[in-house]
Chains A and B, each alone.
Chain A
Amino acid sequence: MTRTHITTVINGDEVDFLAEDSTSLLDALRDEVGLTGAKEGCGTGDCGACSVLMDDRVTCSCLVFAPEADGATILTVEGLADSGELHPLQQCFLEGAALQCGICTPGFLIAAKALLEKNPDPTETEIRYGLAGNLCRCTGYDKIVRAVQEAAIQMREQ
Chain B
Amino acid sequence: MTDTSVIDEVSPVVADGLAVQVRDLRMSYGSTEVLRGVDFDVRYGEVFCLLGPNGAGKTTTLEILEGFRRPTGGTVRVLGLNPAAQAARLRERVGMVLQECGFPRQARVAELIDIWRSYYPHPRPLGELLDVVELAEVRNTQVRKLSGGQRRRLDFALALAGDPDVVFLDEPTTGFDPEARRRCWAAIENLRRLGTTILLTTHYLDEAECLADRIAILQAGRIELAGTTHEVAARAGLATRVSFTTPSALRRGQVALPDGVGLAVRGPVSVCHTDNAAVTLRRLLDWAVENRLGDLDGLAVAAPSLEDTYLQLAGTDPDLETM
The answer to whether A and B come from one shared complex is: no
A contact residues vs B (CB 8 Å cutoff): none
